[in-house]
Amino acid sequence: MANFGLQDLMVVAPYEPVWQEVRSAVGAEEVVRSARAFGRLEEAIGDANLVVGTTAGGRRNLDRDLLSLTELPGWLRARREGGRLRQAALLFGSEKTGLSNEAMSFCHALVQIPTAPQCPSMNLGQAVAVCCYELARAGVVSVPPRVVKLRHSDAGNLQSLEHTLARLVKVLDEVGYLKPKSRHAQILKLRRLLLDLGLTNYDVRVLGGILAQIEWKLNNP
Amino acid sequence: MANFGLQDLMVVAPYEPVWQEVRSAVGAEEVVRSARAFGRLEEAIGDANLVVGTTAGGRRNLDRDLLSLTELPGWLRARREGGRLRQAALLFGSEKTGLSNEAMSFCHALVQIPTAPQCPSMNLGQAVAVCCYELARAGVVSVPPRVVKLRHSDAGNLQSLEHTLARLVKVLDEVGYLKPKSRHAQILKLRRLLLDLGLTNYDVRVLGGILAQIEWKLNNP
């Protein structure tokens, strides 16, 4: 990350004995010093408004946009120019299992490093290096940081989307929409649906207001 | 390497206890199984006729072509089209010290991964991954292997060049050209000179014949 100018490292549920002893390479001290550990993925990516997951592709049935890594810079650039990119998170799974379906449900797109079919799965550190290299190569991460002012039309970040989803789930539970057996899968689908809507912060507030009102009515029949 | 379709791994003077226990990632078994260890660099790169070294750049005074990694595919392609590339070796130094001046003297060009100035030096495995990615990305390593027939104009490989250099050094020692104090530096310069000449196998044979003749005369005055 530090080699290619990326700074903001977040780690989800790290194995504590190892995490406490992480030491940085020369020149990367700041990345390690400022790294943050979170218990849950949603907390780690809460500030992002676009989440891109990484996958070796293959077996799993993915219903997200699947990009080649070489297409990722263009994909991000198009969204930045369209005002839909404020902060992007690039998400890596564990080396053994990759991203869970749960984790993928937070992703707006999935990116695949174009590896050889007979050896598709990469070492985690090497996958991170290659992704950071491609982003730097395309100039996506070397642009100077811009001051962003909130506007009505700003894309909603994941934290507020998750908040909205939680409210929605609460309501749907109360109204009996979610069935115990399929509840989890339904929630994943709803999350994707919310992501795909491309809600702005204004939209999120409106939706939150609607849900609050429904909640109130349910509790005060 | 296996992730990006490269197969031919050669290791110079590995630390034996670690080298013996190297295990491969899934899908990369063949790379490890067919990997060869050599005592000296010249043996490892003997089959190559173009050698590209990697460097974090910076302090050392390099008198080789210095390419950005993004330029390497074009550089290789131009040499392949010009018939000057039969087999290329990409050379990585140790993580702590990088390539020695001695090792660099075997290189036709040096390539630099465009890293951030405040953190230029990369982890070895990550540097290898990024280089392999760039080569695969540009299609340089995905072309099907071609059958090469030796022709008079074939570029001489490093092994025959080294053989020629050794003969030359022997002669120059005998004639007193090489001074004890500057001998090593002079040999490095001669190696670079030989490399830069772009000798064909035919040229190498001619030069070898000349040197043999000189040797004979020196020993039979």
Instruction: Give pLDDT tens digits for A57-86.
Output: 654 555 667 889 999 999 999 988 887 788
Residues of B in contact with A27 (CB under 8 A): 116, 118-121
B92, B95, B123, B133, best to mutate vs chain A, most A CBs in 10 Å: B133
- CATH number, domain containing residue A66: 3.40.1280.10
For residues A132 and A1, the answer to whether their CB atoms sit within 8 Å is yes
Higher pLDDT, A130 or B196: A130
Lookup: tokens for B162: 């080294």
Residues of B in contact with A26 (CB under 8 A): 119, 121
Domain match, B9 and B98 both: yes
Provide the domain count of chain A.
2
Q: B15-63 pLDDT, tens per residue?
A: 888 888 888 777 888 888 889 999 999 889 888 888 999 988 754 555 6
- Distances in Å between the Cα of A191 and the Cα atoms of A43, A106, A188, A205, B202 are 15, 7, 5, 17, 68
Mean pLDDT over B103-129 rounds to 89
Domain match, B133 and B164 both: no
Enclosing domain of residue A169? 158-219
Closest chain A residue to B133, measured at CA: A130
Residues of B in contact with A118 (CB under 8 A): 2, 27
Q: Please report, as a single letter, which amino acid is at residue B185.
A: A
The alpha-carbon gap from B164 to the nearest alpha carbon of chain A, in Å, equals: 39
pLDDT of amino acid B213:
78
Whether the model pTM is above 0.80: no
The alpha-carbon gap from A180 to the nearest alpha carbon of chain B, in Å, equals: 38
Ramachandran angles phi, psi of A50, nearest 5°: -135, 130
Residues of B in contact with A143 (CB under 8 A): none
Mean of pLDDT over chain B: 82
Q: A179-202 pLDDT, tens per residue?
A: 889 888 888 888 877 776 667 777
Crossing angle (nearest 10°) for helices A158-174 and A183-197: 140
Q: Do B115 and A3 touch (CB under 8 A)?
A: yes
A97: exposed, middle or buried (C-beta count within 10 Å: 0-12, 13-18, 19+)?
exposed
Mean of pLDDT over chain A: 82
Residues of A in contact with B115 (CB under 8 A): 3-4
pLDDT of amino acid A159:
79
Distance CA B174, CA B139 (A): 48
**Poorest-pLDDT segment among A27-41, A207-221, B190-204:** B190-204
Domain match, A109 and A174 both: no
For residues A163 and A169, the answer to whether their CB atoms sit within 8 Å is no
Query: What 3-state class would DSSP assign to B208?
Result: helix
Note whether residue A14 is domain-resident: yes
Note whether residue B47 is domain-resident: yes
Domain match, B118 and B209 both: no
Domain match, A119 and A215 both: no
Model confidence at B219: pLDDT above 90: no
Distance CA A178, CA A171 (A): 10
CA atoms within 13 A on the CB side of B180: 0
Q: B88-97 pLDDT, tens per residue?
A: 999 999 888 8
Domain match, A178 and A129 both: no
Note whether residue B144 is domain-resident: no
Domain match, A164 and A125 both: no
The alpha-carbon gap from B129 to the nearest alpha carbon of chain A, in Å, equals: 6
Place of tokens 């218990």: A39
Residues of B in contact with A125 (CB under 8 A): 123, 125-126
B59, B68, B118, B119, best to mutate vs chain A, most A CBs in 10 Å: B119
Domain match, A28 and A96 both: yes
Domain closes at, from A104, A137, A170: A137
Q: Please report, as a single letter, which amino acid is at residue A85.
A: L
- CATH number, domain containing residue B175: 1.10.8
Confidence of residue B1 (pLDDT cuts 50, 70, 90): very high
pLDDT of amino acid A161:
80
For residues A70 and A115, the answer to whether their CB atoms sit within 8 Å is no
**Poorest-pLDDT segment among A131-135, B99-103, B199-203, B214-218:** B199-203
Note whether residue A145 is domain-resident: no
Closest chain A residue to B25, measured at CA: A123
Closest CA to B58 of B109, B108, B115, B107: B115
Note whether residue B143 is domain-resident: no
Model confidence at A28: pLDDT above 70: yes
Mean pLDDT over B183-206 rounds to 78
Domain closes at, from A81, A108, A137: A137
The alpha-carbon gap from B95 to the nearest alpha carbon of chain A, in Å, equals: 11
Mean pLDDT over B67-73 rounds to 92
pLDDT of amino acid B58:
55
A4 lies within 8 A of chain B by CB: yes
Domain match, B62 and B126 both: yes
Q: A113-165 pLDDT, tens per residue?
A: 988 888 888 999 999 999 999 999 998 875 333 233 333 345 667 778 888 88
For residues A1 and A128, the answer to whether their CB atoms sit within 8 Å is yes
Domain match, A121 and A27 both: yes
Note whether residue B88 is domain-resident: yes
Domain match, A127 and A178 both: no
Domain match, A10 and A106 both: yes
Note whether residue B151 is domain-resident: no
Ramachandran angles phi, psi of B110, nearest 5°: -115, 140
pLDDT of amino acid B156:
66
Query: What 3-state class would DSSP assign to B38?
Result: strand
Note whether residue A7 is domain-resident: yes
B23, B121, B126, B143, best to mutate vs chain A, most A CBs in 10 Å: B126
Residues 154-213 of B with CB under 8 A from A: none
Lookup: tokens for B77: 């392609």
Closest chain B residue to A69, measured at CA: B137
Query: What 3-state class would DSSP assign to B221?
Result: coil
Distance CA A196, CA B146 (A): 47
Domain closes at, from B78, B102, B137: B137
For residues A67 and A28, the answer to whether their CB atoms sit within 8 Å is no
Nearest CB neighbour to A126, from listed B120, B121, B126: B126
Distance CA B86, CA B69 (A): 20
